Structure 1
Amino acid sequence: MAPQLRWRSPQGRRTVAKIVQKEIPQWPNGLYPEQEDVVTRVLDGEDVFCCLTTGGGKSAMFAVPIIVLREMARNPDSYPNLPIRALPIGLVITPTKGLAANIVYELKKLSVPAFAYCHETVTEARKAGRNLVAEIQECKTWNIICVDPEHLRDKAWRQITDFDTFRTNITFGCVDEAHLIDEWGAAFRPPFRHIGQFFRGRLPSSASVLALTATSIPGQPTNSICKSLGMSGDDFYLLRCSNERPNTQFIMEPLDHGLGGKEFPSLLRYLNSGRKAVVHVRRIDEVFRVFMYLFNSLPEGMDRLRRIKMYHSLRSFEANEEILRLLDEDPRCQVVIATIAIANGINIRSLLDSITLGFPESVNQAWQEKGRVGRDPNTIARGVILFQRSAQSDARKQLAALESPPAVPHINPQTGKSKRKKTVKPMEHNKALMLVEEHCYIALWNTIYQNPPLELSTRDCIIAKRRFPCSLCQARAKMKLTFPPSPLPPGLVLPPFIPPTTNQSPPLSADQKKLKLKKKERAEAETTLTVFGDNVRLTERKRSINQRRPRSSFFPSTILKLVLDNLLSIKSLDDLTNHVESWAFVSEHVASLHSAIVKLQRRFEAAREEARLAKNAKQRATRRRRSKKAKHEWDSDEESGEEEEEEEEVEPEPEADVEADDESSADEVNHHPPSSPVPPPAKRAKTALAEVTNRSRPMKKKPEKQETAAAVAATFRPAYKTSRRRAAGQ
């Protein structure tokens, strides 16, 4: 018997090409040279680290070896003496359930049976009484198993990898989106760090270890991934090709609004082009807010739920699968708002626009998101990142801090310790470079990923003559590009998205405010009416016609809200009947409902009156306290003023002879004419409060007592001598 050949030999390569042409007629040109190189190495059991662009055919690296080995097992005499397996099976580690389902869907088109091993499928198999462990061990049902790294720790996988049939036929262990080993394995999902240990410890040495990614930055990130997978030195083959997307225009624009609100007008310009698009957001609550904004931007009367979809991890496995199918097949399904669950590896060939709200955490994630569109090289795609201006400002500060010398810490002379500043998680360096780039985004991408050939890839779009220049180069060259809409069947027209108008209601009048329930009153009324609704249900369900009636229909939430909104304005039974005339049990229970409302009205009226009286009493007490305090200050000021007057008072000189008195009196009369008015006391200067405060306002000082003219005149010496007779008469 002739010795076995290697798959990398010319005979082996010709055999692979022949089988691909036979088994995959939808690939008339066969495999790309780099695909064929990786496939033959995997068949030979070598370890391969492969970096290809998104949409570059990485899935063929693990699909084609299985197709080739299956054909060889069916017709061993038709091919040269090459290594084969009777029941070939491969293991693919996927980061998300969505990617696993997408791989199964794509492999089905190539007639390769595959299974997504996740919580939902395992639960379904157990309910059906199937033994998944036995089926995987025997290698007869599926040829490729997709599993997440968390499930590899289960006891079931120890049983599977210990089974002889599985160990004999396992062809490769593949990790798809291998860049996540470094990004997610550190803290987010530590089991990613244990994938290499599983491959090396649980799989036979004859099985190839294959790592696939489109975004592995050369240097330390790639070395970290290789070390985790046990790839070192010359023991593995590294294939690195350019991940540039020649059929995709890359656009970066600042947002005119925040991401925490409910309005996202920056999206409408792109969505109104009529192209199938995915909107990437960071959190599930953002998915819902963007969905509601777009939902309200479409006119009523059309199937808005058919045009806009949500994709996130809280939706069921089947629902997310259905959304991916609709995006590919339903022309009315135009927009999907998604979290990171759709960012890695998902293949939807009909998607044309990728729009990201806020720059992602890393450039790898950003490029992965842009790789969801333009999967068909004959289409024209757009990758848009709408970033926050604050992120751009932070990037500038971080890069400036790297160039400046480190600041000397401030030492407190009393304690001898430096003041610690709040530590802020630094921004990824490459992300900061992208946010401050002002010349060419694509040249910077190629520099980060070292895309060959560097002498051409690192030039700007104008010099490199790229078909679709980035937004910076397009603005500098003043170019205008057109992007055709997604194809629609004849007669189908999708209406544009129109920003919803915010109808601000006018301010309520005083009477209207009185008729509006307060927050605590509304909560109390809602509790009471909910109990009323339960009583209605218990009463009506005894009738045979209502036994299968849904619980919520006995006293619907719409009727409950209507009653709460008008509770204080309902004055009679007729008013209530007019409000709830659509209620199914209005004739039977409207009277009891009116009775409950009247009780609530009386209760709220009494509570409001009690609160009003308490408030008035508190205000009166406050006024009395302030008045008493002001009076005390007034009396204190008056007493201090009298003491000052006593100190300043001068004793009169003793009387001399009559002539002296006459002369002095004459002088004083000339100096103080009798008709001169008494000078008023000085008024206290008025001061205005600089701001409204809770301090008591300074009271006016009590005016000094005005002296009469007679009292003033008594202080002057008389101008004539009083006769002794008159003095005796007095």
Structure 2
Amino acid sequence: MAATPTPFSWTSLEGRTVIREIIEARIPQWTTEPRPAQLECWSHTLAGIPTILIALTGWGKTTAFFVPILVLQHLLKYPKPRIPQPPPHPVALVVTPLIELGNAHAIEITTFGIKAVSLTAETLTAASKEGQNLLKEISECRWDVVLLSAERLVSPDVDDILQNERFHENLILLGIDEAHVLVPCDFRKAYLQIPLLRCRLPAHTALIPVSVTISPGAEFNSLCEWLELKAGKYHIIQESSERPNIRMIFKELTHGLGGYQFPDIAWVFRRGVKAVVYCHTIDLGFRVGYYGWSLYPERSRHLDNVRLWTSITSAAYNNRTLDLFKSEVDTSVIMASIAFGMGMNLRNITDSINLGIPTTYAGLIQQNGRTGRDAGIEARGWTYVESSMCTTVAEDGDKGSTGNKRVDEMDSNLYEMVRAHVHGICLIATSNTCSGNPGEDSLFPCAQAKQCLFCSSCQPYPSPNIPSSDPLPPNPIPPNPVPLVFMVPNVDAIPSTSPLTKKVRAIFSAWLEGVAVEIWNSKDDPYASILPFPAFWHGISQDHILDNFHVLTTRTSLNRICANWKYLGSDGDGLYQLVQCLRQGLEEHTRKQKEERARKSAAMRAKNKGAIHLYLIVHNPN
């Protein structure tokens, strides 16, 4: 009696061999063969097994989302015996924490011959202009990989897609990019929808959370609990997040972060440097950028030398930033928010700088991981720690009761990193402990572990020197923040009439603000893409115009009052017309008020005259 053949299994040697052969046939540009851990990830995904992938930046985590699709598409064209028939239109749904990250993944995946789309308001609008119904195309499985932000999970459009029977049958995996943000779930409230989303998906859909670091213990357990992954019901692949070509450097700041002077990082603002500087807030990023702009020679393209990347910079501006950073040697620095640290891929970054301690340990690893994507270059990951934090941690108080709010609220792994810096303990060994990185030498100091690049605890590392051939001005920016109002013209000699009343001033202020916003948003000006609308009044201020409104009677007087206004030449005529329009309205209002007062006075006089006449009749009847 013939033996019953063993059922085909993707996780077997046979299954992994099939995957390898298909990859080699479909992606000839992939010169290095798939690594064992990559084959392990893809095989478990194809087997429908939930798989948690933890791997360093540059490992190729995005392949977890599209290689299974590529394999099934190949088998639809070229079926193999023993392998079950794939669904007719296999689809992957991937949730990303940021729209920009979804856009970047879609572009990358498309280069491998996979149809990928990032579902955003912009792509929906663009498709509509081309006469396409993108939502219908997704429901009909005409897109292989669909990327969307967590916020869009709760939209009625996505709800309709998920209820579509065809999409339901063909959905083979749900990917969660940067899964570590699920643990502090307040990062994106919409991530609360992911456990509910899983309940609505078919049983054959594999869950694939990926991240560069998920610390063992409480953080990992919290993630599994959040995703409702039971012990023994999922597979985990944990690669080391250690980056041997990145030197880990901690420095104590010699200045605060509340002003406009940042000499500790002056070295990055020069030609030839390729650095990303991470700032806690948009305000800090702008102040550091302003400091950096001032350090370049007078005729430099300052707004290209230092670029901003925040939640309020437009997609067009951000794309321009990436292009300049890749291709222009003079574009040295990107002032970035934490958004940039999640998956942005620029291979020529040589220095990643945390200006101030990040909010989480995962953020530190993510942000420093943006540098050194080219394994052939030596890169540096800098973290500048506030002096107050170093002092507090040096006292070895119990975290949570030190009296320093930021230290007390710091996650335990981040605290250990600061403590290692303060006490001269190996940063790399401490990081490996926090991340749970495997390897016999992972817990040894740099020398014992034979590290190529020692950390700053094992070998103090000085800040790069600024070349003497390109000296910097000693005080490029005033030490204290200053508003955009630099000089106020002397108007003592200008004849003055009555100033605006409080009520009229409030009305005119609203008009000026509305016009400023409209003009600023329509300007083809590099400042307009990165600065808020009050910068329209650069050199003067809106209050300055209102204070002197009563003397702005001619174009000449406006020129004199607004002599320091940057946009006087381009927008002076428009402002003058607005002023005259407001003045005419005010004069008309004043005229009507005078007429009303005169009418009331006449009525009162008539009333009084009648009363007097009546009095005389009563008291003097003869």
Same fold? TM cut 0.5: yes
Equivalent in the alignment of 1:400: 397
Distance 1:14 1:302, change over 3 A: same
Equivalent in the alignment of 1:190: 189
Could you tell me how far apart the structure 1 residues matched to 2:172 and 2:290 are? 47
> Is the 1:92–1:175 contact (alpha carbons within 8 Å) kept by the matching residues of 2?
yes
Distance 1:289 1:449, change over 3 A: same
* 2:27 aligned to which of 24, 27, 36: 24
Equivalent in the alignment of 1:684: none
Could you tell me how far apart the structure 2 residues matched to 1:501 and 1:316 are? 29
Equivalent in the alignment of 1:51: 54
Unpaired segments ≥5 residues, structure 2: 480-486, 513-522, 525-535, 584-622
Does residue 501 of structure 1 match 2:476? yes
> 1:450-465 to 2 correspondence within 5 Å?
450-453=436-439, 455-465=440-450
> 1:423-434 to 2 correspondence within 5 Å?
426-434=409-417
> 1:244-255 to 2 correspondence within 5 Å?
244-255=242-253
* 1:309 aligned to which of 307, 310, 321: 307
Task: State the identity as a percent.
Answer: 29
Could you tell me how far apart the structure 2 residues matched to 1:74 and 1:336 are? 45
Q: Deviations over 1:430-465 (max 9, x none)?
A: 222221212211111011112112x41111111111
Could you tell me how far apart the structure 2 residues matched to 1:347 and 1:558 are? 35
Distance 1:469 1:498, change over 3 A: farther
Equivalent in the alignment of 1:387: 385
Could you tell me how far apart the structure 1 residues matched to 2:257 and 2:156 are? 44
Q: Secondary structure at the residue paired with 1:457?
A: coil
Equivalent in the alignment of 1:369: 367
The Cα of 1:424 is off from its aligned counterpart by 9.2
Could you tell me how far apart the structure 2 residues matched to 1:291 and 1:502 are? 12
Could you tell me how far apart the structure 1 residues matched to 2:331 and 2:271 are? 14
Larger Rg over CA atoms: 1
Does residue 440 of structure 1 match 2:426? yes
Q: Deviations over 1:454-491 (max 9, x none)?
A: x411111111111111111112xxx89999x9xxxxxx
> Is the 1:353–1:382 contact (alpha carbons within 8 Å) kept by the matching residues of 2?
yes
> 1:198-213 to 2 correspondence within 5 Å?
198-199=197-198, 201-213=199-211
Q: Secondary structure at the residue paired with 1:471?
A: coil
> Is the 1:309–1:336 contact (alpha carbons within 8 Å) kept by the matching residues of 2?
yes
> Is the 2:310–2:339 contact (alpha carbons within 8 Å) kept by the matching residues of 1?
yes
Distance 1:60 1:560, change over 3 A: closer
Q: Deviations over 1:101-152 (max 9, x none)?
A: 1111211222222111123333444565542321111111x21111112211
The Cα of 1:499 is off from its aligned counterpart by 5.7
Distance 1:114 1:525, change over 3 A: same
Equivalent in the alignment of 2:276: 278
Could you tell me how far apart the structure 1 residues matched to 2:405 and 2:66 are? 50
> Is the 2:52–2:234 contact (alpha carbons within 8 Å) kept by the matching residues of 1?
yes
> Is the 2:289–2:308 contact (alpha carbons within 8 Å) kept by the matching residues of 1?
yes
* 2:325 aligned to which of 306, 318, 327: 327
Q: Secondary structure at the residue paired with 1:336?
A: strand
Unpaired segments ≥5 residues, structure 1: 408-420, 486-493, 505-511, 536-548, 551-555, 597-730
Alignment RMSD: 4.4
Could you tell me how far apart the structure 1 residues matched to 2:20 and 2:451 are? 33
Could you tell me how far apart the structure 2 residues matched to 1:457 and 1:6 are? 34
Distance 1:502 1:287, change over 3 A: closer
Distance 1:331 1:139, change over 3 A: farther
Q: Secondary structure at the residue paired with 1:209?
A: strand
Does residue 178 of structure 1 match 2:171? no
The Cα of 1:427 is off from its aligned counterpart by 2.5
> Is the 1:38–1:48 contact (alpha carbons within 8 Å) kept by the matching residues of 2?
yes
The Cα of 1:181 is off from its aligned counterpart by 0.4
The Cα of 1:391 is off from its aligned counterpart by 1.8
Could you tell me how far apart the structure 2 residues matched to 1:513 and 1:91 are? 58
> 1:230-269 to 2 correspondence within 5 Å?
230-269=228-267
The Cα of 1:314 is off from its aligned counterpart by 0.9
> Is the 1:98–1:321 contact (alpha carbons within 8 Å) kept by the matching residues of 2?
no
Q: Secondary structure at the residue paired with 2:70?
A: helix
> Is the 1:12–1:82 contact (alpha carbons within 8 Å) kept by the matching residues of 2?
no
> Is the 1:297–1:499 contact (alpha carbons within 8 Å) kept by the matching residues of 2?
no
> Is the 1:11–1:80 contact (alpha carbons within 8 Å) kept by the matching residues of 2?
no
Q: Secondary structure at the residue paired with 2:297?
A: coil
Distance 1:469 1:481, change over 3 A: farther
2:105 maps to a residue whose letter is I
Could you tell me how far apart the structure 2 residues matched to 1:95 and 1:45 are? 24
Q: Deviations over 1:599-624 (max 9, x none)?
A: xxxxxxxxxxxxxxxxxxxxxxxxxx
Distance 1:190 1:558, change over 3 A: closer
Distance 1:393 1:230, change over 3 A: same
2:212 maps to a residue whose letter is A
Distance 1:497 1:113, change over 3 A: farther
Does residue 40 of structure 1 match 2:43? yes
Distance 1:129 1:84, change over 3 A: same
Mean Cα displacement is larger for which, 299-308 or 216-225?
299-308
Could you tell me how far apart the structure 2 residues matched to 1:211 and 1:178 are? 6
Could you tell me how far apart the structure 1 residues matched to 2:107 and 2:472 are? 32
> Is the 1:101–1:321 contact (alpha carbons within 8 Å) kept by the matching residues of 2?
no
Q: Secondary structure at the residue paired with 1:76?
A: coil
Q: Deviations over 1:622-678 (max 9, x none)?
A: xxxxxxxxxxxxxxxxxxxxxxxxxxxxxxxxxxxxxxxxxxxxxxxxxxxxxxxxx
> Is the 2:261–2:477 contact (alpha carbons within 8 Å) kept by the matching residues of 1?
no
Could you tell me how far apart the structure 2 residues matched to 1:49 and 1:503 are? 51
Could you tell me how far apart the structure 2 residues matched to 1:73 and 1:513 are? 74
> Is the 2:260–2:477 contact (alpha carbons within 8 Å) kept by the matching residues of 1?
no
The Cα of 1:12 is off from its aligned counterpart by 2.1
Q: TM-score, normalised by structure 2?
A: 0.74
